[in-house]
């Protein structure tokens, strides 16, 4: 079974990727820094969850793009 994330984590991550798509990559550590920069999240646990979900979003969008190339 997959991991279940709360809706607020997904919502924050989607909004960040929508606003700043060029700033995020599939690198977790880079995304952590960007989440810190663009939000006022004080909890490291929430920051890490958001950054992890952004990694997942970025990987899924890159997979969709590569599927379209074939």
Domains annotated for the chain, with CATH where assigned, are 8-69 (1.10.60.20)
Q: What gap in Å lies between CA 41 and CA 2, rounded to an integer?
A: 25
Helix ranges (DSSP H) in the chain: 7-19, 28-38, 44-69
Does pTM top 0.75 for this prediction? Answer: yes
Say which residues have a Cβ less than 8 Å from residue 47's Cβ, sequence separation at least 6. Answer: 32, 35, 36, 39, 41
Whether 48 contacts 14, CB under 8 Å: no
pLDDT in tens, 16-61: 999 999 999 999 999 999 999 999 999 999 999 999 999 999 998 8
């Amino acid at each position: 079974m997959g991991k279940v994330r709360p809706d607020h984590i997904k919502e924050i991550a989607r909004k960040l990727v929508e606003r700043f798509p060029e700033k995020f990559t599939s690198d977790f550590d880079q995304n952590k820094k960007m989440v810190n920069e663009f939000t006022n999240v004080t909890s490291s646990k929430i920051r890490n969850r958001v950054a992890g979900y952004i990694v997942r979003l970025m990987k899924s969008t890159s997979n969709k793009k590569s599927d379209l190339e074939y």
